[in-house]
Amino acid sequence: MKLEDQLRSNVASRKLQPLPATLQGVTKERITQVLRALDRASRDRVDTVFALLDDTNPNLFFEAAQKGLKFLHGASTAHIACHVGVLQRRGGKLDREGRDYWLKPLWEIGALEKLYFDPETADFLPGHPVPKSPNSAYRIARPFSKSSRRRTPSVPLSWRRGPVRTPLAPASRSRRRSRKPRGPKLARHTWN
């Protein structure tokens, strides 16, 4: 049985919980605000982040679920595609090839961690050591998951490459050599 069909069956039999409007105290609206501040907002990316915050449903790697791990501990591209398409949108899964549009921009800014699921130990290990492995997975990086709980968007300094232009931190337009501050300081960058 295909993963997409298996998820539909699990939803119908109530093995998977319906998703609440808030996961871990984070709404899709808050995710949208933060991704907009990082110039990474899209419907697919917002839903991807929301999927990876799912602490209510079991992990879709069988061994991880047996160990009691949840979806948020790590999910493959296919798992995320099905979570977004079937659980969130009640339709078909996202196109796997679209991962360059809904996963890559998030790992490029450090919002996602790349993982490898080891079925022998039922643990998630850092990185993608085996190219194109079905056990390659992703999860929300710790600084990002903490940030999404905050009421006002902030921009993590560790994610930026070069100047960050957001309503909270306008970029300085001059490059004068001065010891005086060139603009407002960035807000402390956690999500909670």
Maximum mean pLDDT: which of 15-24, 119-128, 152-161, 173-182: 119-128
Task: Give the residue with greater pLDDT, 32 vs 150.
Answer: 32
At 70-99, the pLDDT tens digits run 999 999 999 999 999 999 999 999 987 888
What does the alpha-carbon distance between residue 100 and residue 2 come to, in Å, rounded to a whole number? 23
At 40-49, the pLDDT tens digits run 999 999 999 9
Token pair 């196109």 in the structure block, residue:
95
What percentage of the chain has pLDDT greater than the value 70? 75
What does the alpha-carbon distance between residue 116 and residue 136 come to, in Å, rounded to a whole number? 5
Residues in contact with 119: Cβ distance below 8 Å, sequence separation at least 6, in sequence order: 61, 63, 135
Q: Where are the domains of the chain?
A: 3-151
**3-state SS assignment for residue 103:** coil
